[in-house]
Amino acid sequence: MRFSHTGAAPARRDDWLTLKTLWPYVWAFRGRVTLAFVCLVAAKVANVATPVWLKDIVDALGVAPTLLAVPLAALLGYGLSRLATSVFGELRDALFARVTQGAIQRVAGQVFRHLLALSLRFHMGRRTGGLTRDIERGTKGIGFLLNFMVFNIVPTLLEIAMVTGVLLWRYDWTFAALTLGTIAAYVLFTLRVTERRMTYRRTMNTLDSQANGRAVDALLNYETVKYFGNEDYESRRYDADLSRWVDSAVRNQVSLNLLNMGQGAIITVGMTALLWQSARGVVQGHMTVGDVVLVSAYLTQLYAPLNFLGFVYREIKHALADMERMFDLLGNRQEVADRPDAVELRADRASLAFEAVDFAYQPDRPILHGVSFSVPAGGSLAVVGASGAGKSTLSRLLFRFYDPTGGCVRVNGRDIRDYTQASLRAHIGIVPQDTVLFNDTIGYNIAYGRPDATQDDVEQAARAAHIHDFIASLPQGYDTPVGERGLKLSGGEKQRVAIARALLKSPPILVFDEATSALDTRTERAIQSQLERIAQGRTTLIIAHRLSTIVHADHILVMEAGRVVEQGTHAALLALDGRYARMWHLQQSRPVEDIRV
């Protein structure tokens, strides 16, 4: 099933498939699982033996006073069996704790790695809040499922089997039949009603994720909400989602109450029938008072877990519903994957070429049409054009966020699909137009370009990006937090951090996607000279709207509607007196801050 955050409840996933998906993560700790199961069996054997010792004690104390003696063996057996039940139970819990937490760690880690490996198309369409909520519920569901399966479901079923065996061995078959009949009726009733209730739970999960996604989206875009005065609008949308969630939650609770009443009625009828049967045995003389105590003790031992079994089963079904959404994330296909025979790209210099590249984000919306150009190693190419011409798509194809629908992109003469994505991207640095920073310090965000960089390296990159003096003037310096998505910094400050980060990476290919668009003219000119110095000897792709920043490029492309309409050097394009020349004259006659091409 494809992951979705729509309002409708998702299609039901096979619970056995969910368990099968989980099993390898659990069996990775097979040693602990085996030892925990041995302790589980030992604890239940001791627990079932306890009422037998209690019966012997009662029968021994029920004789005539002249024959009365302290039943030491029975008392010792009773004490040891109770102690063994507790000790083996605690050992089981201690052994299985590592299994539960280890499985959660491995599942969460794989889901996180898989999400990072998914295409940009997936991440542009997902809601961050709903996605994180699904993962959070899914990991909690794993913990609940494993704990209650090992600590409740399996022990209870094992105890039921043992008690049934003891009743068949010591008493009339009707005792075992009544016990199994009660349990069967209880389980069947619980299964049928719970299956119906799962629709409400799935709907609750979907609406909860949707409401949380809207809330996170509004908070991430806090400034936009404030700009347009839409606080009440966002609150009403959030409240509407919560209202639908409340309706589903109420239906879920009412159905739970009806389920509890039915379960209570079944247990009451079964217990009454068993006590009636044992009381008749005593009256008829073929059962002792100790036998009644034994049957009553078994009923008491089974009643608590059996009554709890209904809750556990319901919660396990809920956990499976929570887990299914998380595991469904693993079912999202990795759109761009390494070929089995992909090789590592290792080069200090790199040439770049686009050969008749076609591309469309959607089949009915083509973006690029037969785009071809080449950049020799160490050369520079600038791309200009109106918004929507497909300029930024070039960098996304170069980074292999998407694959072309036609043609190919080459680095050092080889199709980039022949390289591993990690090695390809290690050779490319980018300064994007929209710089998003991690909610950490300025130093961390600069060092992200090369996490093993020294503090001196970070400061050197900051100086090259003309941001070191600003950072040094802050009370916390490089340890200054930048806030969510870098909101504590201005647009120009964020862009200079991005430039420093790219410079620190020091790759053979550099991409400047309107890298200085958020800077004032003086700062832009200062940084531009630094960028030109850093770009020397590196293959550079420059996407720009200010033509004054790309006049020194070796080659310039003019794009329009996904096609290259003009190309050449700055001087050649001016001499052509075409589209580029018109843009140049327009920008020269007006402030560049007011012009976007």
358 and 405 Cβ atoms separated by less than 8 Å: yes
Claim to verify: residue 213 and residue 243 sit in the same structural domain: yes
What is the separation, in whole angstroms, between the first and last Cα of the chain? Answer: 43
Q: Do 375 and 312 fall within a single domain?
A: no
115 exposed, middle or buried (CB, 10 Å; 0-12, 13-18, 19+)? middle
Tokens of 279: 């009381």
Long-range contacts for 75-81 (Cβ within 8 Å, ≥24 apart)?
77/49, 77/53, 78/50, 78/53, 78/54, 80/46, 81/46, 81/47, 81/49, 81/50, 81/53
How far apart, in whole angstroms, are the C-alpha atoms of residue 239 and residue 234?
9
CATH number at residue 488: 3.40.50.300
Task: Let me know if residue 10 belongs to a domain.
Answer: no
Q: Can you give the residue range of the structural domain that contains 368?
A: 338-427+510-521+538-597
The helix, strand and coil proportions of the chain, stated in percent and rounded to the nearest 5, come to 65, 10, 25
Asked whether residue 234 falls in the same domain as residue 290, the answer is: yes
Which pLDDT belongs to residue 70? Answer: 53
Whether 260 is in a domain gets the answer: yes
Tokens describing residue 503? 């410079």
Contact 567, 556 (CB under 8 A): yes
Q: Say if residue 120 is in the same domain as residue 267.
A: yes
Q: Is residue 4 one of the residues assigned to a domain?
A: no
Q: Are residues 314 and 404 in the same domain?
A: no
Contact status, residue 114 vs residue 330, Cβ threshold 8 Å: yes
Q: Which residue has 């007006």 as its token pair?
A: 590
385 and 495, same domain (yes or no): no
- Same domain flag for 418 and 464: no
Query: Whose CA is closest to 122, among 335, 330, 425, 360?
Result: 335
Residues forming beta bridges with residue 354, ordered by sequence position: 373, 409
Buried b (16+ CB within 10 A) or exposed e, 323-344: bbbbbbbeebeeebebeeebee
What is the b/e burial string over 481-501, where b = at least 16 CB atoms within 10 angstroms of the residue's CB? Answer: ebeeebeebeebbbbbbbbbb
DSSP, res 356: E
Length of the chain (residues): 597
Verify that 117 and 151 share a domain, yes or no.
Answer: yes
Q: Are residues 395 and 276 in the same domain?
A: no
- Bridge partner list, 374: 353
* Alpha-carbon span 293 to 314, nearest angstrom: 32
What whole-number distance in Å separates Cα of residue 393 and Cα of residue 385? 12
**Residue 412 domain flag:** yes
Sign of CA dihedral 172, 177, 180, 186: negative
> How far is CA 314 from each of CA 179, 194, 266, 371, rounded to the nearest angstrom?
22, 6, 17, 58
| Residues 6 or more apart in contact with residue 441 via CB below 8 angstroms | 476, 478, 479, 480, 481, 482
Phi-psi region of 392 (alpha: psi -120 to 50; beta: other; left: phi over 0): alpha
Cβ proximity of 582 and 407 under 8 Å = no
> What strands, in cross-sheet order, belong to the sheet with 563-568?
428-431, 509-513, 539-543, 380-385, 555-560, 563-568
Q: Which tokens hold the place of 217?
A: 């989206």
Residue 532 falls within a domain, yes or no?
A: no
Question: Which stretch of DSSP H or E encloses residue 424?
Answer: helix 421-426
Structural domain total, the chain: 3
- Give the number of other CB atoms < 10 A from CB of residue 69: 8
Question: Within 13 Å, how many C-alpha atoms sit on residue 105's CB side?
Answer: 8
pLDDT at 419: 93
Among residues 553, 593, 556, the alpha carbon closest in space to that of 578 is found at 556
Joined together, the tokens standing for residue 354 give 């686009």
- What is the H or E stretch that residue 95 is in? helix 72-117
Please tell me the distance from the alpha carbon of residue 544 to that of residue 535, in angstroms, as a whole number.
Answer: 15
Of 506, 529, 550, the position where a domain reaches its end is: 506
Residue 5 is predicted with a pLDDT of: 39
Same domain, yes or no: 203 and 282: yes
529 membership: H or E segment, kind and range: helix 521-535
Q: Is 413 found in the same domain as 302?
A: no
pLDDT digit string (tens) for the chain, length 597 residues: 333 333 333 444 567 888 888 888 888 888 998 999 899 889 988 888 888 777 777 767 665 454 555 567 878 888 898 898 889 988 988 888 889 888 888 888 888 888 877 767 776 666 555 677 778 888 888 888 888 777 777 888 888 888 888 888 878 788 888 888 888 888 788 778 877 777 777 788 788 888 888 888 888 888 788 877 888 888 888 888 888 888 888 888 888 888 888 888 887 888 788 878 888 877 777 777 777 777 777 777 776 776 666 677 767 877 888 888 888 878 777 778 888 899 999 988 999 999 999 998 888 888 899 999 999 998 999 999 887 788 888 988 998 988 999 999 999 999 999 999 889 988 998 888 777 888 899 999 999 888 888 999 999 989 888 889 999 999 999 999 998 878 888 877 888 888 888 888 888 999 988 766 656 667 667 667 767 777 788 899 998 887 888 888 899 999 988 899 999 999 999 999 889 899 888 877 755 444 444
Domain containing residue 120: CATH number = 1.20.1560.10
Residue 20 domain flag: yes
Which of 330, 363, 380 is the endpoint of a domain?
330
What is the token pair recorded at 485? 């998505």
Task: Tell me if 6 is assigned to some domain.
Answer: no
The Cα 190–Cα 289 span in angstroms is 34
310, 330, 350 - which closes a domain: 330
Residue 464 sits in the same domain as residue 440:
yes
pLDDT recorded at residue 333: 77
Query: Does a structural domain hold residue 3?
Result: no
Q: Is 590 exposed, middle or buried (0-12, 13-18, 19+ CB in 10 A)?
A: exposed
